[in-house]
Chains A and B, each alone.
Chain A
Amino acid sequence: MLLADYILGLVGAVAVAEPASFARLRGIVGDRSAIVAVDAEAVSLRFEGESLHATSIAREVPAPDADGIGATDRQTVLDLLAGRIEVAAAIMDSRLHLRGTTDGIVRMSRAIEILIDVAVRVPRLQQIARAYRDDPAGPIAPRRPAETGRPAALRAAEIAMLGRLGLLPGADSQGGTSETLPDGGKTA
């Protein structure tokens, strides 16, 4: 299954099972767009009316603009699902990248939180998550090195700021991973 199919399946299941949660999610996202990338697969997401449009982005094509971009690898997703790593630690280890405007990132994270919260009460979402976890076609990416090519001074400044705010892993963490939202009933 493609990443776009998983995302459409998740959001579609929310729309069917908990319309109020879907309406909340739809309101939070508004007319914003997002890009979710896992390994080499990237999907552009945007609502039109009550339908989520998920478009796979070809590797050779420049990525379109988006209000929020979440990028990670399958191993990190699996580690997050297994509780082997916290979201904040994944960000600090450069295994999860969130980019965009503050508003865009916050809303993207809220949308993901709604998906996870609804999943507790909707078996269909749990089934989709399990299918993703067990997907034999999904490549297990090698673990990335902890450091990126970002300038060390910038990284040190970020860490200092996060420390001041009590947001470093082991001090606190924030929710947020990748994707976004449905078409009014289409499920994978």
Chain B
Amino acid sequence: MSDFDLLRLPSLLDPTAPAYKDWFHLNLFDHAGGGVALVNVLLHGAPADERARAVGAALLHAPGEGWCGNVEIAGFDEATIVPAGILLANVAIMVDPTGRTLHASARLPEEALALDLRGTAAARPIRIEFAEPFGSGWIAWFVVPQLRLQGQLTLGGRIFDLAAWTAYHDHNWGRWFWGEDIGWEWGAFAAPAPGPLFVLAQLTDRLHRRRYPAHLIVVQDGQSRTFRAGVTIRHEGRAEVPLRRLPGALAALNGDRARPALPARLTVEAAAGADWVRLSFATRAAAQLIEGEPMRPGYAFIHELVGGFEAVGRVRDQDVSATGLAVFEYVT
């Protein structure tokens, strides 16, 4: 059985294909240097429709240097789409045919950023395959919470050995249109190996006033524990950080979104039986990825907040207290 997942391309007869979304997501954490990287590849729209787009993003936030990286947008016919991968000219993620290794690469010479990595699962995958209602459609989820990495990242003239970094991967797919009354809050909070990793997820409406139950997954020693109830998320303050907004044309179009109200701090609490976790996250920097719906007018704003976290708690009678790096995603 594969450690990773396949894309869920709709059939030609699927009447919901215009709302199709499919998304491989990878986060990398440099605990020694404080850097956080994001590599995403996604598909939106009916594959047979020329408007459908494949999008790749590779971004790195390095302390003291800010964001580098960019977004690439192409038609499906300009991308290589295989059952377990999306390969664009500059950004790609693919699982090899054995299902044991995930490959990711990015080549952004204008940003002086390059990346080549191979990742293998360091924890058991988590399948959350039931389709949760989401906007006019649904969303489903598959998570490989911890990966062991090989490879390197190059920034300017510096080369980083990724073997010392930790990583998180997930796959989202479903049917919805960007611009609908949807949003989410999601986060991956990674301690240096062999420490724990925490994954937070909550679906919301666009204004984050209507909130669906939040989930918190705690992964340690390759095992996961999911809190499905009793999870609370509290935001504090307003992050006053420079915002990198991409793609540039859509940033220009959505000038009124240049100063979103993003939380400066976040507190997550979860308790179930004897298990409990309290986690605090502080925002250091943020990027805004603007998703334009190719099938009809509409936009969504995916804010990637990076920073540090601190957690205390006990799960399965084990101490899961940790500090580390995190990405918190706030979507409006």
A residues engaging B (CB < 8 A)? 79-88, 113, 116-117, 119-123, 126, 129, 170-177
Contacts and interface: CB of A to CB of B under 8 A. Distances in A.
B218 to A, nearest CB: 35
Interface class of chain B by DSSP: mixed
Interface residues of B, number: 29
Contact of A83 (B247, B256, B259, B295): B247
A121 B294 contact: yes
A143 B216 CA distance: 48
Contacts of B294: 120-121
B51 A121 contact: yes
A183 B75 CA distance: 26
Interface in B27-69: 50-51
Nearest to B74: A126
A92 B297 CA distance: 30
A121 B295 contact: yes
Contacts of B258: 86, 88, 172-173
A46 B131 CA distance: 51
Contacts of B250: 116, 120
B255 interface: yes
Top 7 A-B pairs, shortest CB-CB distance: A120-B292, A83-B248, A173-B255, A83-B246, A116-B253, A173-B258, A81-B248
Contact of B248 (A80, A121, A126, A172): A80
A63 B294 CA distance: 38
B21 interface: no
A82 B251 CA distance: 10
Contacts of A129: 249
Contacts of B110: 82
B51 A86 contact: no
B111 to A, nearest CB: 8
Given A120-B294, A123-B50, A87 B249 contact: no
B70 A116 contact: no
Given A123-B75, A173-B258, A117 B253 contact: yes
Contacts of B296: 121
28 contacts: A80-B248, A82-B70, A82-B248, A83-B70, A83-B251, A84-B248, A85-B248, A86-B255, A87-B255, A88-B255, A88-B258, A116-B249, A116-B250, A116-B252, A120-B294, A121-B293, A121-B296, A121-B297, A123-B51, A123-B75, A126-B73, A172-B256, A173-B255, A174-B255, A175-B252, A175-B254, A175-B255, A177-B252
B244 interface: yes
B195 interface: no
B169 interface: no
Interface string B249-277: 11111111011000000000000000000
Choose among A80, A82, A88, A120 the residue with the greatest number of B CB atoms under 10 Å from its CB.
A120
Contacts of A81: 247-249
Nearest to B299: A120
A41 B294 CA distance: 32
B48 to A, nearest CB: 14
B242 interface: yes
A176 B23 CA distance: 32
B51 A87 contact: no
A143 B314 CA distance: 56
Contacts of A120: 250, 292-294
Given A83-B248, A175-B254, 8 more contacts: A79-B248, A80-B248, A83-B244, A116-B253, A117-B253, A121-B51, A121-B297, A175-B252
B245 interface: yes
B40 to A, nearest CB: 15
Nearest to B293: A120
B252 A86 contact: yes
Nearest to A81: B248
A170 B70 CA distance: 20
A113 B66 CA distance: 28
A123 to B, nearest CB: 6
A80 B252 contact: yes
B242 A170 contact: yes
Nearest to A119: B249
Nearest to B295: A121
